[in-house]
Structure 1
Amino acid sequence: MATWQEVKTKVQAFRTYVQGLTPTARSAAKYAFLITKDDIKTMIDQAGGVQQLDGLRAYFAADIIDGQMVPTMYVVAVQKDAAGNYNDYDLGMTVPSGSQPLTADTRPCPNMCSTANFLNS
C-alpha cells in the first residue's frame, strides 16, 4: 500500500499536469470522483436475488478537449471466479445493449469536492 505522502505527491503531480492544459481542457478537468455507498450497493446487488458481486473495478478513461487528454473514470462491478480471479460482471467482447451491466454514477470534483485537506488544497 502507498503511504499518504506518496499519495499526496502523486495527486499533486496530477494537479500540476492539469495546470498545463489549455484553459478549456483545464476547466473540464476532474480531480476526484465520489462514489456513494448507495451506488456501491446498487452495483454489488445488480446480479439479483441473494447473489452479490465481489467488488468494483475503476477504469481510467479520457475526454479529448482541445487535443488534450482530460482524465475521467468509470466503475464496473466484478465477480470472483473459482480460480480466485475478479472478472468484470457480465461484459463480453461487444458493447451490451440497454442499461446492463451498470456503471457507477461517479460524481466528479469539481463540483462534488470534499472540504479542504492535504490532498485537495
Structure 2
Amino acid sequence: MARGTRKKLHLGSLLPFRCGTKSFQPEHSLIGGPGFSRVVFCNNTESQRVLNYGNNYVTSTKYTLATFFPKSIFEQFRRAANVFFLITAILSFTPLSPSSPVSSVLPLALVILAAMIKEAIEDLRRKKQT
C-alpha cells in the first residue's frame, strides 16, 4: 500500500457558504427573478393589495343534490359486473335474444337502485357527522 500525501479536506469547499467571509449582500435588482420565490412587504401601506383567497371550507360528502344522480350512475357503471349486465340487457332487445327484455333489465335496475340508495344514506350520514 503506497502512502502518499493526502489533501486536507476543507469544509468550506463543501458547503455553499463559507464561514468567516463577508456577509451575503444580494443585489436588489435580482428580486423576483430566478431563485427568489416571493417578496414580503411589512407595514408598507403603498404596497398592500387586497387579495381574494378562497375559503377554507371542507366537505366530507361525495355528492350534492344536483350531482347525486350523474355521479352515482357513473360510480355504478365503473363496476365490471354492472357493465356486463347492461350489455346483456341491451342485447335482450334484439330479435336474437331468447328471453324477454324485462327479465334482464329489471334485475339490473333493482341492483343499481339499491346501491344508489345505500350510497345516498352513507353520504347523508357523512354530512351529519361534520
Q: TM-score range by the shorter chain?
A: under 0.3
TM-score, reference length from structure 2: 0.23
Which structure shows the bigger proportion of residues in helix conformation? 2
Which structure shows the bigger proportion of residues in strand conformation? 1
If asked which structure has higher relative contact order (CA below 8 Å, sep 6+), I would say 1
TM-score, reference length from structure 1: 0.24
